[in-house]
Amino acid sequence: MDINNEIRRLTAQREAIILAHNYTIGEVQDIADFVGDSLELSRKAAECQAKVIVFCGVRFMAETAKVLSPKALVLHPNPHAGCPMADMAAADEVAKYRQAHPDTVMVAYVNTTAATKCHIDICCTSGNAEKVIESIPQDRKIMFLPDGNLGRNIAAKLKRDMEFWPGFCPTHFKILPEMITAARNMHPDAEVIIHPECMPATVALADVALSTGGMLRHVKASPKHSFIVATECGLIHRLQQENPDKEFFSLEPKPLCPNMKKISLEDIYLSLKELTPAVELPQEVIDGARHPIEKMLEVKP
Ligand code: 13P
Ligand code: SF4
């Protein structure tokens, strides 16, 4: 059996679409109908007419697809692919904070569970966080959750006072300033592109901080030939495919998110064949989480 052919056959038979995040394994990116960053995947899920969405990424992303496309059957081929950062902002803790600070605007990175999104005002991704923060009047207090690093990087850029939840991405947290310095010493002509989930001290040593989708656009438009990629290593697959004449270097040790690597071609095949495991959310969670995601999608890019 050729698994790629079987997946394509079942995708057509089920009237399905396969969405994959830029960090998934190369084979998964290659079979997907659409590969993108968190914002692009949210937009795709919102406009998608497919009966079945096979979501290859971590759990909160599949939940977002379900919230935005509630009539579709959303399959998450490996239910063990979670995001530890999303789990750092539990719904009951966020609800408690909100109750205690009724005047604060709660801004949540999309890396939160649907249950947590029920207690916030507006979502953002690393691709639109600046625009989202700028859409909030200057005199309002802001709590940014769960990623303290993304929050601090945006606050510094916009010179905006904000409170930060004590959450972080365990993969980007391990990208240390000395790793950037070592990579620069090895490849002095390369431009350093970094993800804003990294610590501010690391971001300060890079040339440009962008979402994964932003990195792809930046590299394509750049006259430069070589790049040091300071984010999860899965992005290099697409960067290299779309820019065969350019050179990409990861860091040492290679940043890797084990959860993003959990979905295999076998998982996708079985999921399409058995139509399971499906993302199921209570109706009140779908309704509660939709509001802050839609508010985010209304913010002009
Ligand atoms: P983006 O693809 O939106 O940049 O997000 C990265 C990420 O870590 C998602 O979990
Ligand atoms: Fe979560 Fe970080 Fe993995 Fe993204 S890279 S899914 S933020 S743990």
How close is the Cα of 84 to the center of ligand 2, in Å?
A: 7
The structural domain count of the chain equals 3
Q: Kindly state whether residues 100 and 158 are assigned to the same domain.
A: yes
For residue 238, being part of any structural domain is answered with: yes
73 and 126 fall within a common domain: no
Q: Looking at the DSSP assignment, which residues form a beta bridge with residue 54?
A: 18, 75
Structural domain includes residue 164: yes
Buried b (16+ CB within 10 A) or exposed e, 185-195: eeeeebbbbbb
Question: Over the stretch 226-255, which tens digit does the pLDDT of each residue have?
Answer: 999 999 999 999 999 999 999 999 999 999
* Tens-digit pLDDT profile for residues 170-215: 999 999 999 999 999 999 999 999 999 999 999 999 999 999 999 9
Q: What is the pLDDT of residues 2-42, one digit of tens each?
A: 999 999 999 999 999 999 999 999 999 999 999 999 989 99
Q: Does 97 share its domain with 149?
A: yes
In a domain, 266, yes or no: yes
Structural domain including 268 reads: 3-81+260-281
Q: Within this chain, do residues 268 and 219 fall inside the same structural domain, yes or no?
A: no
| Distance separating alpha carbons of residues 241 and 245, to the nearest angstrom | 9
Residue 295 lies in a domain: no
- Whole-model pTM: value is 0.96
Distance 83 CA to ligand 2 centre (A): 5
Q: Cα(98) to centroid of ligand 1, in Å?
A: 25
Region label for 159, one of left (φ > 0), alpha (ψ between -120 and 50) or beta (otherwise): left
259 lines ligand 1 (CB under 6 A): no
Nearest to 192 by CA among 202, 26, 157: 202
| Domain match, 47 and 34 both | yes
- Residue 243 belongs to a domain with what CATH number? 3.40.50.10800
